[in-house]
Amino acid sequence: MQSQESGCSKLPTLDLGELGVQHTGEPSQQEWQRVTRQLDRALSDVGCAYLTGHGVPDDQVKEAFSSAIAFFKAERDFKMRWVVPDEGNVGYIAMSSEKYSDEGKELHEGFLFKQGSYDHEKEAPPFMTAVTPLAQLVHALSRRLMTSLALSLS
């Protein structure tokens, strides 16, 4: 059996530098240009890139995953306290509650949330204390990345 070699031999690594969320100030114009140029090249040539210097702490990601895993391992009755209402799109999606084709129900469970989805009127699920700060960081990072992508199109 012959092995096939892809056209991509190396995944490009892009250091976000001043665009990382650990930097609260506005990045310099030179930094915007550098990251935009490198991101455009990586996405045009390979289609993806490994991002470094993004500023999202590994321990925060691990904490969010650990708390989400604990939630999904909990008893069904506990999770059903946050079930998605018929007219809503925020909350717990129980195992086999969704059906995307006539072949049967989907074997997954999930949790849909959005910014501000749990205010003082609703009790937040336990993992939200870890997930919310991570979601805020990722949102800030995605805004900077989308700005860079927009700059690459002009």
List the domain boundaries for the chain: 13-54, 58-134
The pLDDT of residue 4 is above 50: no
pLDDT, tens digit, 9 for 90 and up, residues 49-64: 999 999 999 999 999 9
Whole-prediction pTM value?
Answer: 0.79
Q: What is the mean pLDDT of residues 109-129?
A: 78
Distance CA(73)–CA(24), nearest Å, equals 36
In eight-state DSSP terms, residue 81 is G
Distance CA(8)–CA(24), nearest Å, equals 35
Question: Is 111:93 a contact under the CB 8 Å cutoff?
Answer: yes
Distance CA(89)–CA(112), nearest Å, equals 7
Residue type, 22: Q
- pLDDT value at position 108? 84
